[in-house]
Structure 1
C-alpha cells in the first residue's frame, strides 16, 4: 500500500520558513497515562526502558522499524508514481486536554477526513511535541504537531507539522490563551476548524516506522512532504536498512 504525507511553508506561531508533513498508519492507540512512562532517561521509565515496563510494549525495545528517525539526504530513492494527499476537514466542537506529556485537542463530531490510497481516515485529535521528534539531517525543529486520524477498520493516519520560530501561526495564536491556562480538567473550546492548520505540498518523503510512544506499534507508514518546556520527545531510532522514499512530480 502507498501512503502520502506533505510538507509546506505554513505561517506558524513559531515557524514560517518550512515544515514537514508526515502521515502514519497504525493499528494501536497511543498510551495517554503520563504516569506509566516518561521521556526522561535515568528515571527507570524513560524511552530506553519503555519495552520493559509492560509486556505489550516489547516492540519499544526489540522493534526494527521504530520511529522517530533522522531523515538522511544520502539514502533516498526517488519514486515518481506516488499520489497526493486528499483532505476534507469540517469545523466542529472540540475540547482541550493537558495529558501531562503533551497538550491535546479532541474533536467531538465529524471533523472531516483525509483519504490515503483510497481509504478514508477521520480526524480525531491533534497534539504537540516540543522540540520535534523527527530530525532532518540532524536538524530538530522547535515543535511538531500530530493530527491523528482513524479509519473505519481502526487503522490510524497521523499528519505531523514541524515548526520553526517565525511569524505567528493563526491556529496557534487563536488557541494560545487556552493552551497556556489549561489545567487538569478538559476545557471546551467551542467550534474549531481543522482547516486553520495549514499544510500543502508536492514533494514528500516516506518510510515505514512505528508509533513514537508506547506501545510503539510498527507498520506505521510515515510520509513527509517538503516545500522549500519540558522535553517530550523520543530519541531517533536506527534505520536498520530501511529506505526513505522521495517523491517530486
Structure 2
C-alpha cells in the first residue's frame, strides 16, 4: 500500500491508492490476525488488562500502546477534508455459505464461499466476515451510538479494508433480524454453526457518503495499515436485537467498544458525490 499525494489548491490530500503489486511496508501493512482467544484482555478500565494495558499483555500486542495509526477515532474531532475524487465505494457482494461463531468478545459471521468484494482505487478486497460492537467504536464529534457493524475484507497482499456502519435505537435492522435466532443459539466455546446461504448484499448502507482514514484493528494485536471506510448514515437497531447480541457474549464483554484513539496527525477524508454535503 502506498500514499499518493495530490494537490488541490494549497492543500495536500493523501489519496489512498493501493497498488496491484504487494509492497510489504511494516508500518502500513495489516495482517488478518485478530486474536481469537479473548481471555487475556477485557474492555474494563482499571481491571489490569483493559484497553490501556493491552500493549503490555503480550509482546505481539505492543502496537496497542505504541502505535500511531490506531483505531477507532472521533471522525469529527477535526474538520474532515471533503474529497469527491475519492469516488463511490464499489460493492459487488453475492450470496454465499456462511457460519456464525461466538468468539466470547463478539459474534462473528464468516463467509466460507466467494461472497464478493469491494474495490478501493482499483484494488479488490474480498469479503471475509462481519462482527458487531456495542456501543459504537467510532464517534461523531463525541457522540457514541448504540452499535457498530464491521465488515472485514482482505486483498491479495493480505491487507485489510474495513467498512463500518453505526446504529442507533429504532426500527430493527433487517440483516441482523435474519440471523438473530442463530446468534441466540451459539454459545461461547461452540464450534462455528452453519447459517446456510447468507447474502451480504442485505446489509443496508443507506448513503453513498463516507469517511476514510488509515487505522488499525480495534482488538489485539491492534495491527496498523487498515483502510477504514465509515458510512456517513447512522442506521437503526432495535433494543431487543442489541440485547440479544449483548446477552450471548462472555460476561464483561457486553460493552465491547475500544476507547477512541489519538489521530496523531492523520487526515480524515470525507467523500460526497457532490459538494452539497446536505444530500445523502
Q: TM-score, normalised by structure 1?
A: 0.86
2:240 matches 1:240? no
The 1:217/1:58 distance shift into structure 2, 3 A limit, reads same
Is the Cα contact below 8 Å between 1:75 and 1:243 reproduced in 2?
Answer: no
Aligned mates of 2:85, 2:96 — CA distance in 1: 35
Pick aligned residue for 1:161 from 161, 165, 177: 165
Q: Which runs of 5+ in 2 are unaligned?
A: 4-14, 18-27, 235-245, 247-253, 275-280
Shift of 1:205: 1.8
- What is the 5 A alignment of 1:116-195? 116-183=120-187, 184-185=189-190, 186-195=192-201
Q: Cα deviation per residue 1:57-79 (whole Å; 9 max; x = unaligned)?
A: 11111112211111226422222
Is the Cα contact below 8 Å between 1:26 and 1:157 reproduced in 2?
Answer: no
Aligned mates of 2:185, 2:141 — CA distance in 1: 35
Is the Cα contact below 8 Å between 2:214 and 2:225 reproduced in 1?
Answer: yes
2:204 matches 1:198? yes
Aligned to 1:84: 88
Aligned mates of 1:172, 1:204 — CA distance in 2: 22
- What is the 5 A alignment of 1:33-72? 33-72=37-76
Shift of 1:27: 2.9
- What is the 5 A alignment of 1:105-124? 105-124=109-128
What is the number of residues matched between the two proteins?
A: 230
CA RMSD of aligned residues (A): 2.0
The 1:175/1:191 distance shift into structure 2, 3 A limit, reads same
Shift of 1:170: 1.6
Structure 1 runs, 4 residues or longer, greater than 6 Å off:
none
Aligned mates of 2:157, 2:67 — CA distance in 1: 24
Q: Cα deviation per residue 1:133-188 (whole Å; 9 max; x = unaligned)?
A: 11101111111111111111111111111111111222111111111221232211
Aligned to 1:211: 217
Is the Cα contact below 8 Å between 2:132 and 2:150 reproduced in 1?
Answer: yes
Q: Which runs of 5+ in 1 are unaligned?
A: 5-23
Q: TM-score, normalised by structure 2?
A: 0.77
Q: Which has the higher contact order (CA 8 A, sep 6+)?
A: 1
Q: Cα deviation per residue 1:166-223 (whole Å; 9 max; x = unaligned)?
A: 1122211111111122123221111111111111533222222211111111222223
Aligned mates of 2:201, 2:222 — CA distance in 1: 29
